[in-house]
Each structure stands twice: as structure tokens, then as C-alpha cells.
């Protein structure tokens, strides 16, 4: 059940990213995280509304599991 809950959340968030035409921004964030990791750059654990996005958690932008803490994605996309 937990697995299905997380998969459902990922699909729902990605639909919102696409609907708002933010796929390029998401790809840019993935590039930034990868660049940080490759260069041993340290960044914060999470801040503000970005912590409501489970997708951003999965790519490593922050360390707040919004599914675990039941944070509504609407906090990020308002």
C-alpha cells in the first residue's frame, strides 16, 4: 500500500508539472543537483514550499519526504 501511495503521488505531481509547462525547470533542477553532487557542493535540507514536492525530494533537491509527512503538493504549486 505504501508503494502504491508513493507511485500515485509521483504520477499526480508529474501531471501538474506538465500541465504548468514546468518540465524544463524540472530538468534544470535535476542538472543542478547532479552538478552539486559531482562537485561535492553542500546545500540545505529543504526550505519553504519546495518541501511539499515529492518529486523534488526524489531528485535530491531537499530531504523532506512530503508523502511521509502528508504535505499537500498544493503548498508548492499555489
pLDDT tens for the 78 residues of the chain, in order: 999 999 999 999 999 999 999 999 999 999 999 999 999 998 888 889 999 999 999 999 999 999 999 999 999 988
pTM above 0.85, yes or no: yes
Provide the pLDDT for residue 62.
94
Provide the pLDDT for residue 45.
85
Provide the pLDDT for residue 78.
85
Provide the pLDDT for residue 31.
97
C-alpha distances in Å from residue 74, one per residue of 16, 34, 36, 47: 10, 26, 27, 15
- Please give the DSSP secondary-structure letter assigned to residue 45: S
> How far apart (Å, rounded) are the C-alpha atoms in residues 3 and 43?
28
Amino acid at each position: 500500500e505504501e508503494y502504491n501511495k508513493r507511485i500515485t503521488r509521483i504520477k499526480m505531481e508529474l501531471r501538474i508539472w506538465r500541465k504548468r509547462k514546468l518540465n524544463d525547470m524540472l530538468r534544470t533542477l535535476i542538472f543542478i543537483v547532479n552538478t552539486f553532487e559531482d562537485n561535492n557542493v553542500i546545500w540545505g535540507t529543504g526550505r519553504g514550499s519546495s518541501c511539499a514536492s515529492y518529486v523534488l525530494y526524489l531528485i535530491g533537491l531537499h530531504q523532506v519526504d512530503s508523502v511521509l509527512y502528508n504535505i499537500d503538493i498544493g503548498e508548492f504549486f499555489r
